[in-house]
Amino acid sequence: MGCSAPDGNGLKSTGKTLVSIAIIGTLNAEGRINRVLIVAPLSILGVWEDEFKRFADFPYQLIVLNGTISKKIQQLRFLTGEGVHVVVVNYESAWRMEKELANWHPDLIIADEGHKIKTHNTSVSKAMHRLGLLARYRLLLTGTVITNKAIDVFSQYKFLDSRIFGNSFYAFRNRYFNMVGYGNHTPVLKKSMEQDLMKRIHSIAFRATKAECLDLPETTDIIRHIELEPVTLKKYKELVKQSYTELSAGEVTATNILTRLLRLSQLTGGFIGSDDGGKIEQVSDAKLKALEDILESSIQEGHKLVVIARFIPEIHAICRMLEKKNIGYACIYGATKDRQEQVNRFQCDPDCMVFVGQIATAGLGITLTAASTMVFYSLDYSMSNFEQTKARIHRVGQKNGCTYIYLIAKGTVDSKILTALRNKADLAKMLIDDYRKGANPFAPEGGESYEQ
């Protein structure tokens, strides 16, 4: 069973997760499946958990595997309960846990953002091919089954159904492509084989475009829940307790409460400063890895991206990552002198794919309509900054619906900050009210209270 989901910008929803949940419910009701394995990029694992809560109208037990490989294996072994069992894991872990996942015997395997396995001979792709053979049903979801080259379809279809293009990459390549260029390394689709290739691609594919999804709003908000590393989460909890103790020892004012919130926000972004205001230490790269996933999809689809962050160390870390990947970018933060030059480059240069901006300094007076997707790596507490920054892509000249992606560290103040901004609430007042009710204002919404 194969499904190639919509063309277009994969960062914008055309309902593939909802359709997948409906398929799972139907197959389970018909007695065909009991165990579902969902393999997805690290940055969107939490999306599946959220969407099941919203849409699954059938009994299920879902677990997102996290932590070390040994911990993930333990989580897999002890999954119990009524209804269909759903395991969500990232691609790298699926490869490293292949034996354990095979022994778990999934009836349905879903490869989300399936273009992640477009290269046929990587360890991850090979593992997915082998796992696919063990499952009765398979789904592959992607907005870009063909990213850069038509040859990309082979590996994805080998996972789905090897009868479509066979098991041999080289037989497939020789049948459909001429190898040209220096060293004969560039595959060019044979004109005579175009119709055959497309017929086979669509033989097991369902395609939906954004234009057909008429109920999509003009702007879309997507929350990506990020799991902090265990060591980082421990530091965070210690800082929560320390902040509450300090707050209780003095006057509870907006300034005092936001000052302590500041360090917690810095930590969720991956950095923390020493108590004397000296050296900045990087303690996490969880959000950076999530951004890499989003960036990879955007670049593959040929779409530009705006990334907004609050703190300078975050800006520098993002820029270093882009340089390492040889991705052209423009950047505006407090020290930037040539602001308009940076904007012009992003707007006009096709090789400049990413704009990195500091929320306090890049939120006014600039137009970034070359992109229709904005990632909030971190947020400040200003409603004005928030609204003004969002308007950089959603303004005159924008021809596409806009998507805003928020990287929210799970179980942290990130969610409280975003809730206040989206509800146009006074964050300081909200936290002070929590304190006066006897709650730790820095503890997560609906999560563990953290000892006070």
Mean pLDDT of 91-115: 95
Tens of pLDDT, residues 165-212: 999 999 999 999 999 877 888 899 999 999 999 999 999 988 876 556
Mean pLDDT of 152-175: 95
- In terms of average pLDDT, the best of 141-150, 185-194, 310-319, 432-441 is 310-319
Q: Which domains does the chain have, with CATH numbers?
A: 16-212 (3.40.50.10810), 217-452 (3.40.50.300)
- In terms of average pLDDT, the best of 176-190, 232-246, 435-449 is 232-246
Q: For residues 4 and 115, which has the higher predicted lDDT (pLDDT)?
A: 115
Task: Report residue 82 as tokens.
Answer: 């009524």
Contacts of 119 (CB under 8 A, 6+ apart): 125, 152, 155
Mean pLDDT of 144-157: 84
The answer, yes or no, to whether residue 136 has pLDDT greater than 60, is yes
3-class secondary structure per residue, the chain: CCCCCCCCCCCCCCCHHHHHHHHHHHHHHCCCCCEEEEEECHHHHHHHHHHHHHHCCCCEEEEECCCCHHHHHHHHHCCCCCCEEEEEEEHHHHHHCHHHHHHHCCCEEEEECHHHHCCCCCHHHHHHHHHHHHCCEEEEECCCCCCCCHHHHHHHHHHHCHHHHCCCHHHHHHHHEEEECHHHCEEEECHHHHHHHHHHHHCCCCCCCHHHCCCCCCEEEEEEEECCCHHHHHHHHHHHHHHHHHHHHCCCCHHHHHHHHHHHHHHHCCEEECCCCCCEEECCCHHHHHHHHHHHHHHHCCCEEEEEECCHHHHHHHHHHHHHCCCEEEEECCCCCCHHHHHHHHHHCCCEEEEEEECCCCCCCCCCCCEEEEEECCCCCCHHHHHHHHCCCCCCCCCCCEEEEEEEECCCCHHHHHHHHHCCCCHHHHHHHHHHCCCCCCCCCCCCCCCC
The answer, yes or no, to whether residue 38 has pLDDT greater than 50, is yes
8 Å CB contact between 43 and 286: no
In this prediction, residue 217 has a pLDDT band, given cuts at 50, 70 and 90, of: low
The answer, yes or no, to whether residue 444 has pLDDT greater than 80, is no
In this prediction, residue 3 has a pLDDT band, given cuts at 50, 70 and 90, of: very low
pLDDT value, residue 429: 87
Q: What is the mean pLDDT of the chain?
A: 88
The answer, yes or no, to whether residue 259 has pLDDT greater than 70, is yes
The answer, yes or no, to whether residue 274 has pLDDT greater than 70, is no
Mean pLDDT of 419-444: 88
Q: For residues 336 and 3, which has the higher predicted lDDT (pLDDT)?
A: 336
8 Å CB contact between 138 and 93: no
8 Å CB contact between 271 and 232: no
CA atoms within 13 A on the CB side of 371: 33
pTM for the full model?
A: 0.71
pLDDT value, residue 10: 32
pLDDT value, residue 212: 63
Percent of the chain past pLDDT 90, that is, above it, reads: 64
pLDDT value, residue 334: 86
The answer, yes or no, to whether residue 412 has pLDDT greater than 50, is yes
pLDDT value, residue 211: 58
Residue 141 CB coordination number (10 Å)? 23
Task: Report residue 12 as tokens.
Answer: 């914008």
pLDDT value, residue 213: 57
pLDDT value, residue 452: 42
In the block, tokens 């996942």 appear at 101
pLDDT value, residue 277: 60
8 Å CB contact between 315 and 333: yes
Mean pLDDT of 277-289: 88
Say how far apart CA 332 and CA 129 lie, in whole Å: 43
Mean pLDDT of 365-392: 90
Instruction: Considering only CA atoms, give the Rg of the chain.
Output: 23
Say how far apart CA 247 and CA 64 lie, in whole Å: 35
In this prediction, residue 318 has a pLDDT band, given cuts at 50, 70 and 90, of: very high
